[in-house]
């Protein structure tokens, strides 16, 4: 008897987790694998969580989250971004990925097509397949600073297309969509009557001088956009599992009904941690951002100093997407042999879609010494191949 469904069998394994598992074979590795802040939880957030536990808040909460958190999200969006959403137009989830899952369930019917960035975060493709949807990858090119080319997007739209998924700043490329690009995508979404899901989890980690732009800001887009956001990256809260979606009320009401069937609610103490994150001091976030800036420069300069490797300065997030075509090696061989010979872990670009061939991803959310050692070892590896 076959226990696993066809869709279950079709879900691809995560290349990031695969590399993470392989590194366990070695006593010591230099790892650029995981997209996870290495900072500790800011003290005021820890305090808020502990206070909540001491108050005995260990019970169910309203499905979409406690009102103080939903209000804090709504106020932060208005204050920091000029985006007006009612608290009722927010929904709290155990991580941005859960908010995305719920969004996809609520807006699609089986067999709908969803356009995804390629390269793009690998979970997008897996999630679409397990939801019975058809992922449609559209190539992002380095020469276009890893933004969608509107002509490529338009060519991928069919009668079955339901949504376009954007991710800016991007995992894995570190690319950030500019205003003109988003305006063109918005025009396409309006013309073809599509929903846009915009995964903005890295929006505070932005290294360009331009202010962050969301596609939800363009005329006619608020009504057809779902914003996915969360606390994991900005506040070093990955393991606490706290994310949210922001969308028009009508959709939120359905998502609220649907979430009862999947996770009921998020732990109340963690939600109070989210309130503290949004309403408390900004210094811890600014300090983490200053560190990322330094590391970003270190990693980009280091990679660009290796003959055969080049890397655009990452515009956002904490990933460098290094072009290794000059080494003549396919990216998977590069990653595997680098691990075997130098015990350095990078993720092959094809782990993020076929469009990632010729690239490897390095997460620089790690210590400066690790970055220096890793870059030296990558240099030695490439040199040994060329020499
Ligand atoms: C683009 C992107 N979206 C969402 C997530 C998941 O965030 P969360 O931890 O809130 O589920 C990640 C985590 O790596 C990510 O890279």
Q: Which CATH number goes with the domain that contains 342?
A: 3.90.1150.10
Whether the pLDDT of residue 387 is over 70: the answer is no
Please identify, among 244, 259, 279, the residue that sits at the C-terminal boundary of a domain. 279
Q: Which residue has the tokens 């990653």?
A: 335
Ligand 1 midpoint to CA 212 (Å):
18
Q: Is 173 touching ligand 1 by the criterion CB < 6 Å?
A: no
Ligand 1 midpoint to CA 166 (Å):
13
Number of the ligand 1 atom closest to the C-alpha atom of 36? 14
- Residue 22: its pLDDT value, please? 85
Q: Is residue 104 part of a domain?
A: yes
Q: In the predicted model, what is the mean pLDDT of residues 279-302?
A: 96
On the 0-12 / 13-18 / 19+ scale of CB atoms within 10 A, 27 is: exposed
How many structural domains does the chain have?
2
Share of the chain above pLDDT 90, in %: 91
Q: Is 172 touching ligand 1 by the criterion CB < 6 Å?
A: no
Protein residue whose Cα sits closest to atom 14 of ligand 1 = 35
Using 50, 70 and 90 to split pLDDT, how confident is the model at 142?
A: very high
Expressed as residue numbers, the domain containing 261 is 44-279
Q: Is 175 touching ligand 1 by the criterion CB < 6 Å?
A: no
Q: Is residue 114 part of a domain?
A: yes
Q: Is 238 touching ligand 1 by the criterion CB < 6 Å?
A: yes
> Does 259 share its domain with 303?
no
Q: Which residue has the tokens 């001088």?
A: 209
Q: Is 33 touching ligand 1 by the criterion CB < 6 Å?
A: no
Beta bridge partners of 320: 362
Whether the pLDDT of residue 301 is over 90: the answer is yes
Please identify, among 248, 279, 310, the residue that sits at the C-terminal boundary of a domain. 279
> Does 99 share its domain with 235?
yes
Protein residue whose Cα sits closest to atom 13 of ligand 1 = 35
Q: Is 167 touching ligand 1 by the criterion CB < 6 Å?
A: yes
Per-residue pLDDT reduced to its tens digit, 192-224: 999 999 999 999 999 998 999 999 999 999 999
Using 50, 70 and 90 to split pLDDT, how confident is the model at 12?
A: confident
> Does 256 share its domain with 129?
yes
Q: Is 35 touching ligand 1 by the criterion CB < 6 Å?
A: yes
Phi, psi of 328 (to 5 degrees): 75, 5
Ligand 1 midpoint to CA 97 (Å):
6
Per-residue pLDDT reduced to its tens digit, 229-274: 999 999 999 999 999 999 999 999 999 999 999 999 999 999 999 9
Q: Is residue 1 part of a domain?
A: no
Q: Is 93 touching ligand 1 by the criterion CB < 6 Å?
A: no
User: Mean pLDDT across the chain, nearest whole number?
Assistant: 95
Contact predicate 96/231, CB 8 Å: no
Using 50, 70 and 90 to split pLDDT, how confident is the model at 276?
A: very high
Q: Is residue 386 part of a domain?
A: no
> Does 49 share its domain with 198?
yes
Q: Is 232 touching ligand 1 by the criterion CB < 6 Å?
A: yes
Q: Which of 17, 101, 118, 232 to mutate to test the pocket of ligand 1 (most atoms within 8 A of CB)?
A: 232
Pull the structure tokens for residue 228: 């996915």
Whether the pLDDT of residue 145 is over 90: the answer is yes
CA-closest candidate to residue 287, choices 37, 23, 24, 25: 37
Ligand 1 midpoint to CA 210 (Å):
23
Whether the pLDDT of residue 310 is over 70: the answer is yes
Residue 92 CA to residue 228 CA, distance in Å, equals: 10
Pull the structure tokens for residue 291: 């560190």
- Residue 34: its pLDDT value, please? 86
Per-residue pLDDT reduced to its tens digit, 61-110: 999 999 999 999 999 999 999 999 999 999 999 999 999 999 999 999 99
Please identify, among 247, 279, 311, the residue that sits at the C-terminal boundary of a domain. 279
Q: Is 273 touching ligand 1 by the criterion CB < 6 Å?
A: no
């Amino acid at each position: 008897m076959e226990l696993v469904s066809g869709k279950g069998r079709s879900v691809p394994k995560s290349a990031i987790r695969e590399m993470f598992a392989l590194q366990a074979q070695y006593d010591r590795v230099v790892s650029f694998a995981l997209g996870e802040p290495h900072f500790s939880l800011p003290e005021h957030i820890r305090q808020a969580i502990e206070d909540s536990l001491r108050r005995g808040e260990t019970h169910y909460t309203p499905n979409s989250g406690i009102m103080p958190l939903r209000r804090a999200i709504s106020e932060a969006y208005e204050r920091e971004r000029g985006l007006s959403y009612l608290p009722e137009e927010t929904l709290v989830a155990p991580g941005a990925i859960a908010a995305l899952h719920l969004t996809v369930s609520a807006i699609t019917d089986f067999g709908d097509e969803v356009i995804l960035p390629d390269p793009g975060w690998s979970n997008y493709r897996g999630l679409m397949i397990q939801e019975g949807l058809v992922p449609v990858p559209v190539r992002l090119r380095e020469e276009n600073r890893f933004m969608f080319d509107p002509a490529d997007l338009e060519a991928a739209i069919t009668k079955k297309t339901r949504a376009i998924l954007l991710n800016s700043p991007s995992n894995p490329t570190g690319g950030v969509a500019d205003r003109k690009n988003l305006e063109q995508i918005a025009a396409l979404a309006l013309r073809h009557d599509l929903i846009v899901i915009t995964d903005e989890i890295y929006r505070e980690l932005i290294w360009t001088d331009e202010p962050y732009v969301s596609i939800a800001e363009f005329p006619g887009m608020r009504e057809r956009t779902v914003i996915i956001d969360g606390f994991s990256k900005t506040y070093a809260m990955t393991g606490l599992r706290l994310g949210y979606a922001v969308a028009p009320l009508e959709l939120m009401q359905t998502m609220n009904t649907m979430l009862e069937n999947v996770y009921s609610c998020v732990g109340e103490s963690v939600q109070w941690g989210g309130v503290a994150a949004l309403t408390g001091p900004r210094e811890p976030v600014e300090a983490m951002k200053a560190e990322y800036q330094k590391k970003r420069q270190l990693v980009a300069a280091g990679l660009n100093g290796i003959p055969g490797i080049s890397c655009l300065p990452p515009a956002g997030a904490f990933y460098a997407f290094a072009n290794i075509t000059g080494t003549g090696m396919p990216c998977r061989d590069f990653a595997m042999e680098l691990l075997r010979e130098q015990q350095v872990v990078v993720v092959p670009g094809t782990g993020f879609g076929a469009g990632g061939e010729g690239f490897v991803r390095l997460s620089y959310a790690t210590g400066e010494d690790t970055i220096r050692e890793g870059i030296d070892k990558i240099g030695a590896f490439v040199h040994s191949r060329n020499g």
